[in-house]
Amino acid sequence: MKCEFDTNMSVSALYDYNMHHAYTSASGVIGTFVGILMLIGYSQNTDYLALLVAGIIIILYMPVSLYTGAKKQMLLNPAFKKTMHYTMDDEGVTVSDSENEMTVPWGDMYKAYSTNQSIILATGKNNAWIFPKKDLGEERYTLVEMISTHMPPDKVRIKQ
């Protein structure tokens, strides 16, 4: 079996990935929880306006900073401006652009998961290939089948 497709990175797909990465980590969950506690504290005693302001800032800081970070990454990273071509076969995943090519064997993949906008194939804790669903078309189902076939089930968390 073989699967081939092209992807183009967008601010939206990168932001979606960053949000998922942040809010599935302890710091993202704890930060949101603390912000909510501050809002609840303010609702119990409206004399403490600082609780309201701090709660709103804590809750909004992460999404806003992740969005501005995604926009900055798109501007500064030349690889995000190129169309990337992916080929998946029984050996692994080959990614290429107009100048470079790299193959990573299936055994080196860290995990695979999906977000609302993308299918993510992580090659390490902080490194991943982002496959926007809008770019995949019908190849999306073949991609999921390839990943599910070549990676252990405990490393795959893809929802269609």
What's the topology of domain 3-8+80-157?
PH-domain like (2.30.29)
69-118 pLDDT per residue, tens: 999 999 999 888 899 999 999 999 999 988 889 999 999 999 999 999 99
Average pLDDT over the chain reads 91
Distance, in Å, from the CA atom of 110 to the CA atom of 155, rounded to the nearest integer, reads 7
137-150 pLDDT per residue, tens: 888 999 999 999 99
pTM of the model: 0.85
Query: What is the percent of the chain with per-residue pLDDT over 70, rounded to a whole number?
Result: 99
pLDDT, position 19: 93
Q: Map out the domains of the chain as residue ranges.
A: 3-8+80-157, 13-76
pLDDT, position 160: 67
Query: Taking a C-beta distance cutoff of 8 angstroms, is the pair 119, 140 a contact?
Result: yes
Q: Is the pLDDT of residue 48 over 80?
A: yes
Helix ranges (DSSP H) in the chain:
11-23, 26-44, 49-76, 133-136, 139-150
Distance, in Å, from the CA atom of 111 to the CA atom of 124, rounded to the nearest integer, reads 8
Query: Taking a C-beta distance cutoff of 8 angstroms, is the pair 13, 120 a contact?
Result: no
Q: How confident is the model at residue 30 (pLDDT cuts 50, 70, 90)?
A: very high
